[in-house]
Amino acid sequence: MERQTILEEASAYVLNGALAADLARLVAHRSISQSEGRPEDLRAYLTVEMQPMLKAIGFTCAIFDNPRAGGAPLLIGTRIEDAALPTVLIYGHGDVCNGEAHRWREGFDPFVLTLEGERLYGRGTADNKIQHLINIKALEQVIRAKRHLGFNAKIIIEMAEETGSFGLREFFEAHKPALSADVLIASDGPRLAVDTPTMFMGSRGGLSFDLVVNLREGDHHSGNFGGLLADPVIILSHAIASLTDQRGQIQIPEWRPTSLTPDIRAALRDLPPRRHDADWGEKDLTPSERVFGWNSLAVLAIAAGNIKAPQNAISGSARATCQLRLVVGTDMDAILPALRRHLDAQGLTMVEIQTSKGEPFKPTRFSPDHPWVSFVEQSIARSSGKAPHVLPNLAGSLPNDAFTDILGLPTIWVPHSHAECGQHGPNEHALLPIAEEGMRIMTALFLDIADNAGSLKPVTN
The arithmetic mean of pLDDT across residues 150-177, rounded, is 97
pLDDT at 1: 61
Higher-scoring residue by pLDDT: 142, 358: 142
Higher-scoring residue by pLDDT: 297, 459: 297
Q: What is the DSSP letter of 361?
A: B
What domains are there in the chain, each with its CATH number? 3-203+364-456 (3.40.630.10), 205-262+276-355 (3.30.70.360)
pTM over 0.75: yes
Identify residue 438 by its one-letter amino acid code: G
pLDDT at 358: 72
| Separation in Å, CA 131 to CA 19, 380, 424, 434 | 11, 16, 15, 10
Q: How many CB atoms lie within 10 A of CB 62?
A: 12
pLDDT one-digit tens code per residue, 48-101: 999 999 999 999 999 999 999 999 999 999 999 999 999 999 999 999 999 999
User: Long-range contacts for 50-57 (Cβ within 8 Å, ≥24 apart)?
Assistant: 50/75, 50/77, 50/94, 50/157, 51/75, 51/77, 53/136, 54/136, 54/155, 56/140, 57/136, 57/139, 57/140, 57/143, 57/144
pLDDT one-digit tens code per residue, 333-379: 999 999 999 999 999 999 999 998 778 899 998 888 899 999 999 99
- CA–CA gap between residue 97 and residue 31 (Å, rounded): 8
Cβ neighbourhood burial of 455 (10 Å; 0-12, 13-18, 19+): exposed
State the pLDDT confidence band at 459, using cuts at 50, 70 and 90. very low
pLDDT at 461: 44
- CA–CA gap between residue 267 and residue 344 (Å, rounded): 39
Q: What is the DSSP letter of 458?
A: S
| Separation in Å, CA 424 to CA 97, 311, 398 | 6, 31, 14
Identify residue 71 by its one-letter amino acid code: G
pLDDT at 369: 83
The arithmetic mean of pLDDT across residues 111-135, rounded, is 98
Total residues belonging to the chain: 461
State the pLDDT confidence band at 457, using cuts at 50, 70 and 90. confident
**ω into residue 224 within 30 of 0, thus cis?**
no
Cβ neighbourhood burial of 215 (10 Å; 0-12, 13-18, 19+): middle
Name the average pLDDT for the chain: 95
Does 39 score more than 70 pLDDT? yes
DSSP of 408-442: ---EEE---EETTS-TTSTT-EEEHHHHHHHHHHH
Does 110 score more than 60 pLDDT? yes
DSSP of 165-181: -TTHHHHHHHTHHHH--
**ω into residue 458 within 30 of 0, thus cis?**
yes
CB neighbour burial string for 392-403, b if at least 16 within 10 angstroms, e if fewer: bbbbbbbbbbbb
Strands 417-418 and 389-391 turn out to be unpaired
Q: Are 362 and 205 a contacting pair, CB within 8 Å?
A: yes
First to last CA, the chain: 34
pLDDT one-digit tens code per residue, 383-431: 999 999 999 999 999 999 999 999 999 999 999 999 999 999 999 999 9
Phi, psi of 288, deg, nearest 5:
-65, -40
Q: Helix 129-146 crosses helix 432-451 at what angle (to 10 degrees)?
A: 40
- CA–CA gap between residue 368 and residue 214 (Å, rounded): 48
The arithmetic mean of pLDDT across residues 236-261, rounded, is 97
Q: What percent of the chain has pLDDT over 70?
A: 99
Q: Helix 129-146 crosses helix 18-28 at what angle (to 10 degrees)?
A: 130
Q: How many CB atoms lie within 10 A of CB 321?
A: 18
Does 249 score more than 50 pLDDT? yes
CB neighbour burial string for 277-295, b if at least 16 within 10 angstroms, e if fewer: eeeebbeebbbbbbbbbbb
